[in-house]
């Protein structure tokens, strides 16, 4: 797989159909040999490359290989433990290739596939003998999808989605339907939406405040837009995008590169800034960022890339969103207090 920098993002159109059977209540605990999910039958899932039929074995024990970013976390949240996990963020075998917010849900010993600049090891995946391959939050390369489909039924992203941009709701529901757990997916989405709404209600002081989410990477900076989960959470909490930032043209649909000459677009009433490939100390020492009023007035929340929060902020799965809501709103409320 090419090493495309993924960004979790917002909604995209999606049609899902189910045939034969649906979900069957609470899923059983996952086992190393597979995971109990739904009743047996045939599930048909529509995605960007057409329909995929998934045979749910008797007892619902599916051998699932989760390749897309956060695909394994969504599957675990639905009670289905993959037999293999593509370790997008380098969480390591000790965390079973998933974020700390999901690692405790793993009861077996899934194979961890390290992230690489090379294409996927198709022979390794074939040797796992999967019943289903999840590649929902990925780069959406058709050649890759075709090759995976030769191994096992493969589910890609929703129709119309950009690379690494399925939208957390569509991401969750698509995986739930592929597992034969449609109703469980709907409930997981509803519970997460309730958590977002509760956080907004708890912090009315955030409503209407102009904000940005941005990053420092390479020799430039970046700005998130609607469709990037990091900004989407901010909108859910009541923030509005800072005018000059909103006027910029995203060059990746949901993300814009910001040159040194444009860095003032990050100077909102409140900013959430995080490093990519840098340390927190280097972010704090950046002369351009440190010159901004939002930083000097302590209205910027600077995230440490070694902290679970910044990884959860990027992951955009229901489990990671819960962690973000435990920590970030309070920090944002403190930043708002420093407004004149």
pLDDT in tens, 25-71: 333 333 333 344 466 789 999 999 999 999 998 876 899 999 999 99
Helices (H) and strands (E) in the chain, counts: 13, 15
What CATH number does domain 203-337 carry, 3.30.2020.30, 3.50.50.60, 3.40.50.1980, 3.30.70.20?
A: 3.40.50.1980
For the record, the structure tokens of 219 come out as 């020799």
Q: What pairing do the DSSP bridges indicate for beta strands 154-155 and 132-134?
A: parallel
- Residue ranges of alpha helices (H) inside the chain are 71-77, 100-103, 122-127, 142-151, 168-178, 182-202, 229-236, 243-246, 280-285, 287-290, 293-296, 308-315, 318-337
What parts of the chain have a pLDDT lower than 50? 1-37
**Are 35-195 and 203-337 in the same CATH fold?**
yes
What's the confidence (pLDDT) of residue 76?
A: 98
Q: CATH class for domain 35-195?
A: alpha beta
What's the confidence (pLDDT) of residue 219?
A: 78
Cα distance between residue 134 and residue 329, in whole Å: 32
Q: What pairing do the DSSP bridges indicate for beta strands 210-217 and 220-224?
A: antiparallel
pTM: 0.85
Q: Are 174 and 47 in contact (CB under 8 A)?
A: yes
Residue with tokens 């957390």: 168
What's the confidence (pLDDT) of residue 59?
A: 75
For the record, the structure tokens of 20 come out as 């034969």
Structural domain boundaries in the chain = 35-195, 203-337
pLDDT in tens, 257-299: 999 999 999 999 999 999 988 899 999 999 999 999 999 999 9
């Amino acid at each position: 797989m090419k090493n495309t920098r993924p960004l979790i993002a917002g909604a995209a159109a999606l049609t899902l159909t189910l045939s034969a059977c649906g979900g069957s209540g609470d899923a059983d605990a996952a086992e190393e040999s597979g995971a109990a999910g739904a009743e047996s039958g045939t599930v048909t899932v529509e995605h960007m490359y057409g329909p995929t039929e998934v045979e749910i074995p008797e007892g619902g024990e599916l051998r699932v290989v989760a390749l897309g970013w956060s695909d394994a976390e969504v599957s675990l949240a639905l009670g289905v433990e993959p037999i293999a996990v593509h370790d997008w963020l380098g969480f390591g075998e000790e965390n079973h290739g998933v974020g700390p917010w999901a690692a405790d849900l793993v009861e077996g010993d899934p194979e961890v596939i390290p992230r690489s600049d090379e294409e996927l090891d198709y022979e390794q995946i074939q040797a796992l003998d999967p019943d289903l391959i999840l590649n929902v939050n990925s780069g959406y390369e058709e050649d890759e999808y075709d090759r995976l489909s030769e191994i096992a039924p493969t589910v890609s992203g929703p129709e119309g989605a950009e690379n690494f941009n399925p939208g957390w709701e569509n991401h969750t529901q698509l995986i739930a339907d592929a597992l034969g757990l449609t109703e469980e997916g709907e409930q997981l989405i509803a519970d997460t939406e309730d958590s977002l709404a509760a956080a907004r209600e708890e912090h009315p002081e955030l409503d209407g405040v102009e904000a940005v989410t941005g990053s420092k990477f390479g020799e430039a900076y970046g700005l998130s837009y609607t469709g990037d989960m990091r900004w989407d959470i901010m909108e859910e909490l009541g923030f509005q995008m800072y005018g000059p930032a909103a006027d910029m043209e995203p060059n990746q649909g949901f993300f814009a590169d910001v040159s040194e000459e444009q860095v003032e677009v990050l100077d909102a009433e409140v900013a959430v800034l995080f490093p990519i490939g840098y340390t927190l100390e280097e972010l704090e020492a950046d002369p351009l960022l440190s010159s901004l009023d939002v930083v000097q007035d302590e209205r910027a929340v600077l995230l440490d890339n070694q902290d679970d929060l910044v990884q959860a902020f990027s992951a955009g799965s229901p489990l990671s969103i819960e962690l973000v809501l435990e920590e970030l709103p309070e920090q944002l409320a403190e930043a708002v207090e420093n407004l004149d």
